[in-house]
Amino acid sequence: MAKKKCPECPKCLPGWLVQFGDLMSLLLCFFILLLSMATMDKKKVEEYFEIMRRSMGFLEGAVDTAEASKESLASYHQDGTDAGNDGDMGGGNDAGDVAAEMKDVAQDFNSDNDMSQDSEVTIQVKNNNEFVMDIPSSLMFDYSDYKINNIQAKKFIRKIARVIRTMSEDMDIEVMGYSSVGEVQSSTIPRDSWDLSALRAISIVKELIKNKIEPSRLKVSSFGSYRPQSDDANENRRVELRFTSTHSDNTDFSGENFFDRIGN
C-alpha cells in the first residue's frame, strides 16, 4: 500500500519544541510546589506583584522597577505589622509624624487627669529630626521620691511606649531628669539633686523597657538643679524625653523640596 502523503499545510513545528514545552511545564510544577511549601506573607506577596505589574507595563503610569520597589516596600513598612512584635512595627515615620501622635497621647492624659496649664505634659518640635516631651515630675513622682507608684503614670508611659514601637528604629530616646534646688538633702541615696534627677530618669527608662522598648535605644541624662526653666521650683522639677532621629535630614516643615531650592 502506498504511503499516504501529508496534505498541503504550513510547515510542521520542529520536534524540539515539544520537549521544550514539556520542560517549561515541569518547571512550572516545580515552582508551584515550592510556593505551596513556603510560608507566605499575603501583604508582601501583593506588594511584589504590584511591583512586577508596574515594571512590566501592565498598569497605567508604569515606572522603573527599582523606583517601584522602593516606593512599594516603603509603604509596606509604614502600614504593615509584624506578627512577632504584638502588631507593632518600626515604621518610616519622621519626628514630625511621631510628635503629632505623642501630642494626642499627652492631650488625652492632660484631659483625663484635669491638669492645670502649668502642670501639663507638653511637646516641643525642634525640627524634622527631633522633638521633646516635657513631663512635670509631680505627674510621675511624689515630692523628693523617684519611684513610680502612680497607676495613671504607668498607663501614660505604656501609651508612650506603644507609639515608640511604631517609630523608625533609627530614632533614639534620651530621658533627662531635672530637679529643683534643695529638693532633697540626705546621707542616703538619693543624697542630692543629682541623684534624684538621675534616679527619676532611670525609673522611666526601666518602665519603658518593661513595655518592650529596646534598651539600646534609650539613654539617661541627669542635670540636677542646674538647668532651671524659670524661677518657679515646680516648673524645674521635670523629666524630658528627647526623641532624635539618627538619620540626617535637613528638611523642615515648609515642604520645600530639592528642586525648589536649586530653582531659587
**Could you tell me the domains of the chain?**
42-80 (no CATH), 95-245 (3.30.1330.60)
What is the phi/psi pair of residue 219, to 5°?
A: -145, 145
Most confident residue range from 67-71, 94-98, 123-127: 123-127
CA atoms within 13 A on the CB side of 91: 18
Nearest to 104 by CA among 156, 148, 152, 139: 156
Q: Please, where are the H alpha helices in the chain?
A: 16-37, 42-55, 65-79, 95-112, 137-140, 151-164, 193-210, 233-236, 258-263
44-53, 54-63, 81-90: least confident range: 81-90
Tally helices (H) and strands (E) across the chain.
9, 5
pLDDT of 42:
67
**What's this model's pTM, rounded to 2 decimal places?**
0.55
User: 161 versus 9: which is more confidently predicted?
Assistant: 161
User: 201 versus 138: which is more confidently predicted?
Assistant: 201
Residue 178 has pLDDT above 50, yes or no: yes
Q: Which band of pLDDT confidence, cut at 50, 70 and 90, is reported for residue 104? A: confident
pLDDT of 15:
74
86-100, 115-129, 149-163: least confident range: 86-100
pLDDT of 87:
42
Residues 208/157, Cβ–Cβ less than 8 Å: yes
What distance in Å separates the CA atoms of residue 235 and residue 216, rounded to the nearest whole number? 30
pLDDT of 5:
57
Nearest to 176 by CA among 132, 128, 233: 132
Residue 220 has pLDDT above 90, yes or no: yes
CB atoms within 10 A of CB 225: 19
Contacts with 103 (C-beta within 8 Å, 6 or more apart), sequence order = 123
pLDDT of 112:
73
What distance in Å separates the CA atoms of residue 34 and residue 241, rounded to the nearest whole number? 48
